[in-house]
């Protein structure tokens, strides 16, 4: 089996972490007998320098013609003074939009070996954490009408039925393959848009009688995540609440260098990237943690290439490297073996 993969290494630590992830994918391909055909394209700061735009048309075309997109990270201080719409990060937003990616998946998994890194007390973490936030990416107050007057300003919070239906289906499908518990988060006690959201989610729920659906107000959800996170399996929410809750959920796992993400659209095309940025402070020093990117590759295998077994093998190989005591500096604790970006990727490959 052959798959077309668009490769965007990006800026800062982007090339280092993506190279580490590619080694892991090479090992998985050998084991499972499939071929990834990469086309490397530019986006972000490097694209500004070489092509004059943070998102050249060629990049969009190659990504659209691919089965999945792998992205390292974009941005850096040398491009900070450019106008907002010409900055590296603008390329990323535009790329998500061009590819119709409306569902952002952020798993917050706390590996046992990294329990010390969580800001939560051990008695709250209990058996561990495995929460998946499904955030809608293309609607809500971010894309509604924006008005600024001299003495007032407002942003329209709007969701349409098709937007809610399609993100709800993504969340129900995923919940169906996990613990079958879905929590939809809104502010239906106050907002009309939330009451509409809730009613549409309830309609979609009819198609998934095997999944238990709960509703929580966002203020309560924020609280529950830090007092009893184990109650959650999949959280479904809109763009604004999802922005905040996915950061909160991620951070209870301790380290930004560990957290993968997937952005999905209608078909199987998805974009896979770590949630962290380009870390210019450590770029080119072989200090970056490649595990968030490596775990994003597991998500790619799971959601775009339909290879659950290979995805689990990557996740287990990462867990084993942590069990063996290997740590990059961002997750270092006393008594562990500090390794660089390249070495950490090699350890994961060895475990595969």
**Residues 6 or more apart from 103 whose CB is under 8 A from it?**
134, 135, 136, 137, 166, 167, 170, 171, 263, 264, 265
Residue 289's SS3 state is coil
Q: And the tokens for 184?
A: 């939809």
- Residue from 142, 155, 286, 320 carrying the catalytic annotation: 142
Q: How far is the CB of 10 from ligand NAD (least distance, A)?
A: 6
Work out how close the CB of 274 gets to ligand NAD at its nearest, in angstroms, rounded to a whole number: 6
Active site residue 142: yes
Q: How far is the CB of 278 from ligand NAD (least distance, A)?
A: 4
Write out the DSSP string of 139-204: -GGGTS-EEE-SS-EEE-----HHHHHHHHHHHHHHHHTTTSEEEEEE-TTT-HHHHHHHHHHHHH
Task: With beta carbons less than 8 A apart as the criterion, state whether 293 and 335 touch.
Answer: no
Residue with tokens 């970006």: 341
Output 81 or 206, the one with its CB closest to ligand NAD: 81
**Rounded Cα gap, residues 22 and 19, in angstroms:** 5
Q: Which of 11, 67, 187, 272 is catalytic?
A: 187
Burial of 54 (0-12, 13-18, 19+ CB in 10 A): buried
Active site (annotated) includes residue 19: no
Given the rule CB under 6 A, which residues bind ligand NAD? 13, 17, 73-76, 89, 92, 256-257, 273, 276-282, 288-289, 292, 330
Question: Closer to ligand NAD at the Cβ: 289 or 304?
Answer: 289
Give min distance, CB of 313 to ligand NAD, in A: 22
Q: Which is nearer to ligand NAD, 218 or 349 (CB)?
A: 349
* Shorter beta-carbon distance to ligand NAD: residue 87 or 198: 87
CB 187 within 8 A of CB 245: no
Query: CA distances (Å), 182 to each of 1, 215, 255, 279, 301, in order?
Result: 34, 8, 25, 34, 23
Judged by beta carbon, residue 184 or residue 278, the one nearer ligand NAD is: 278
Q: Catalytic pick from 219, 281, 309, 337? A: 219
Q: Is 61 a catalytic residue?
A: no
What is the C-alpha radius of gyration for the chain, rounded to an integer number of angstroms? Answer: 20
Please identify which of the residues 97, 243, 286, 320 carries the catalytic annotation: 243
Residues forming the active site: 142, 187, 219, 243, 247
């Amino acid at each position: 089996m052959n798959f077309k993969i668009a490769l965007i290494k990006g800026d800062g630590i982007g090339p280092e972490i993506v190279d580490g992830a590619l080694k892991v994918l090479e090992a998985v391909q050998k084991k499972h007998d499939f071929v990834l055909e990469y086309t490397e394209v530019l986006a972000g700061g490097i694209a500004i320098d070489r092509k004059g735009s943070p998102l050249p048309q060629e990049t969009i075309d190659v990504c659209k013609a691919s089965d999945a997109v792998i992205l390292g990270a974009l941005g850096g201080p040398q491009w900070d003074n450019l106008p907002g719409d010409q900055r590296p990060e603008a390329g990323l937003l535009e790329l998500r939009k061009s590819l119709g990616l409306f569902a952002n998946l952020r798993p917050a998994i706390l590996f046992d070996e990294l329990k010390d890194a969580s800001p939560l007390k051990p008695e709250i973490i209990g058996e561990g954490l495995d929460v998946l936030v499904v955030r809608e990416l293309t609607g809500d107050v971010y894309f509604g009408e924006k008005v600024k007057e001299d003495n007032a300003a407002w942003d329209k919070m709007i969701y349409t039925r098709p937007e809610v239906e399609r993100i709800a289906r993504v969340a129900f499908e995923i919940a169906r393959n996990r613990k079958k518990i879905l929590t939809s988060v809104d502010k239906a006690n106050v907002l009309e848009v939330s009451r509409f959201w809730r009613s549409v989610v309830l309609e979609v729920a009819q198609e998934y009688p095997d999944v238990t659906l709960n509703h929580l107000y966002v203020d309560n959800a924020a609280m529950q995540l830090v007092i009893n996170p184990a109650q959650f399996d999949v959280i479904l929410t809109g763009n604004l609440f999802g922005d905040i809750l996915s950061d909160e959920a991620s951070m209870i796992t301790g380290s930004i260098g560990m957290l993968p993400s997937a952005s999905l659209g209608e078909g199987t095309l998805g974009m896979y990237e770590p949630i962290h940025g380009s870390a210019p402070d450590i770029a080119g020093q072989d200090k970056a943690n490649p595990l968030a990117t490596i775990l994003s590759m597991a998500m790619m295998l799971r959601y775009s290439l339909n290879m659950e077994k290979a995805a689990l093998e990557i996740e287990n190989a990462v867990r084993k490297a942590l069990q063996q005591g290997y740590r990059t500096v961002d997750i270092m604790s006393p008594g562990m073996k500090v390794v660089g970006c390249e070495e950490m990727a090699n350890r994961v490959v060895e475990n595969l």
